[in-house]
């Protein structure tokens, strides 16, 4: 870095299957801190049966972040570190909900720094969303529970239309 101050480009990676109000809260706060923020959807071959396709996840994120001129949505395959290098990004942003999140995130942060020399900065998700995760939202929704407080309206509409298409309702 040679003491050079950069106008930081941050990357906020995740599965976003689907994006929740917790994710949107982190995006809103990161967008106020960093001049450029790329929200990066991972194409994760290990997660065999995602609820939403990559295109749908990107589209939901685009619609939910359209008010921020400095936020862009993209995706990556493989290592986050390679994507960070490709974009010449300066920092990785992650949200922490509960202390136990930190356990695995600390290892990821060390590994990503070792691979790229790029640091990870953590924002604490608003306590209102400390129990909100994409997997819990899907589980509750698919069994008929009301998740409208935990996802943006546009995401709820995508979820309802997906459920109709899958004939689950
Ligand atoms: O929303 P998630 O599923 O908690 O996000 C996890 C994510 C995408 C940040 C993490 O799985 C990731 O970085 N995957 C890319 C593969 C990779 O780089 N693995 C090594 C991490 S040090």
Q: Please provide residue 160's backbone torsions phi and psi, each rounded to the nearest 5 degrees.
A: -65, -40
**What is the domain range of residue 111?**
9-165
Task: Specify the number of domains making up the chain.
Answer: 1
Q: If you take atom 21 of ligand 1, which residue's CA is the nearest one?
A: 108
Q: If you take atom 10 of ligand 1, which residue's CA is the nearest one?
A: 14
In a domain, 126, yes or no: yes
Task: Show the low-confidence residues of the chain (pLDDT under 50).
Answer: none
Name the pTM for this structure: 0.95
Of 1, 38, 10, 6, nearest to 121 (Cα)?
A: 10
d(CA 13, CA 7): 19
pLDDT at 45: 72
Residue 121 β-bridge partners: 93
pLDDT at 125: 86
First and final CA of the chain: distance in angstroms? Answer: 55
Q: What is the CATH number of the domain that holds 15?
A: 3.40.50.620
In a domain, 4, yes or no: no
pLDDT at 2: 64
Quote the ligand 1 centre to 145 CA distance (angstroms): 28
Site to probe by mutation for ligand 1, drawn from 10, 11, 12, 15 as the one with most ligand atoms within 8 Å of Cβ, is 15
Is residue 111 within 6 Å of ligand 1 at its C-beta?
yes
The Cβ of residue 68 has, within 10 Å, a number of other Cβ atoms equal to: 15
pLDDT at 62: 98
């Amino acid at each position: 870095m040679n003491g050079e101050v950069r106008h930081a480009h941050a990357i906020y990676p995740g599965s976003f299957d689907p994006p929740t109000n917790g994710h949107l809260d982190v995006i809103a706060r990161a967008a106020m801190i960093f001049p450029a923020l790329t929200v990066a959807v991972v194409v994760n071959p290990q997660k065999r049966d995602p609820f939403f396709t990559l295109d749908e996840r990107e589209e939901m994120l685009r619609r939910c972040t359209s008010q921020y001129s400095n936020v862009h949505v993209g995706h990556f395959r493989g290592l986050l570190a390679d994507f960070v290098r490709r974009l010449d990004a300066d920092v990785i942003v992650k949200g922490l909900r509960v202390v136990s999140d930190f356990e695995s995130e600390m290892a990821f942060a060390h590994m990503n720094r070792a691979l790229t020399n790029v640091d990870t900065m953590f924002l604490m998700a608003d306590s209102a969303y400390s129990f909100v995760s994409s997997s819990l939202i899907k589980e509750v929704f698919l069994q008929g529970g009301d998740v409208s407080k935990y996802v943006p309206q546009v995401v709820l509409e995508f979820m309802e239309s997906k459920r109709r298409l899958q004939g689950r309702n």
